Every structure is written in C-alpha cells, then in structure tokens.
Structure 1
Amino acid sequence: MTQADDRILETLADSNLILSPRVLSVNTDYSRHYLSTRLGRLHEAGLVDRVDEGLYEITGRGQAYLVGRVDADDLESR
C-alpha cells in the first residue's frame, strides 16, 4: 500500500461517488496514468470495485481498511 492508495480510498470514501482516474487526478496530486495503475492494484486487493470501464467505487473492505479493521500486511498476501 502506498500513500497514493490511501488518498484514492479516502477520496472515494469521502465523496461517496463512483469516480474515474481522471476525476481522481484532478482532486489529488497524482497523474491519471499512475492512478489507473494503483486502482488496478486496489481492485486486485478487493478495496475498490470496477463499476464500468474506468469507473471505480470503494468496497466495504476498502472502508474497513480506512478505519483500521484490515491490515495492509493482509492485503499484500492476498
């Protein structure tokens, strides 16, 4: 997990919206390309769902990670 991963999850959680890498890029200090890569990793870890082509929302597991109920070490072994 990276600082960008935390920022992505926080932005998705705070907005309670389905967002694209482009919209996330506008609201964070990361490039759209980098965010697309990180969203793929977060999807693999079960922290975000890919709702449609290039659209993502946070999952219950992602919410649990943000409040400390899922440990980052557990995500690496998934």
Structure 2
Amino acid sequence: MVERVPWMAPVDYEIMLFFDEHAIQVSPRVLAANTGYDRQYVSKRCRTLSEAGLLEDIDTGLYQLTETGAAYLEGKLDADDLENDESK
C-alpha cells in the first residue's frame, strides 16, 4: 500500500495504476475512457503528475509512468519526497 500524498486526487492513483498495469504510452483521452473520468480533468491531473515527476510527457499529449512513479507505487518512495506547486 502506498502512502497517501495530500495534494493528490483520487484519480491520480487510478491514472498511475493504469500505467503500472499497462506499460504503454497513452493520451489523457485514452486514460479518461478507461477510468471513467472527464478527459479535461484527466489531462489536468496528468500535467500535475508530470510536474511532480511521476509521469513523463513523452510526446505531445502522450504520457508514461516514470521510474519515480513506479518507485512510489512500489512503496519505495516517501510521500514527503513528492512535492509540487499545489502542495505549497
């Protein structure tokens, strides 16, 4: 079980778990279709996760899980190490 990060939204965990289960590059549109969330909201959350170093923006609109993101999901990274502008 991963430690909850205060600035993360519930959809963030679903996005990251999707990438953990599917080692592919996808767009927010594909993520939205697979998680049931609004595409614009998923796109915003992907940018937030990318700014925190958990996702990487590979190409215009395509994301993938970073090594940091994988380490977080494996419980090898402390939640205090994950900061972004929303946490300040």
Q: What TM-score comes out, normalization by structure 1 length?
A: 0.91
Equivalent AA in structure 1 for residue 22 of structure 2: S
2:42 aligned residue: 35
Change in CA separation of 1:42 and 1:77 when aligned onto 2, cut-off 3 Å: closer
Output the CA distance in 1 between the equivalents of 2:73 and 2:55. Answer: 12
Correspondence 1:74 to 2:85: no
Note the residue ranges of structure 2 that are not aligned, 5 or more in a row: 1-7
Matches within 5 A, 1:1-78: 1-76=8-83
Output the CA distance in 1 between the equivalents of 2:35 and 2:27. Answer: 12
Q: Tell me the C-alpha RMSD between the 2 structures.
A: 1.4
Output the CA distance in 1 between the equivalents of 2:84 and 2:60. Answer: 27
Note the residue ranges of structure 1 that are not aligned, 5 or more in a row: none
Per-residue deviation, 1:76: 2.4
- The higher radius of gyration belongs to 2
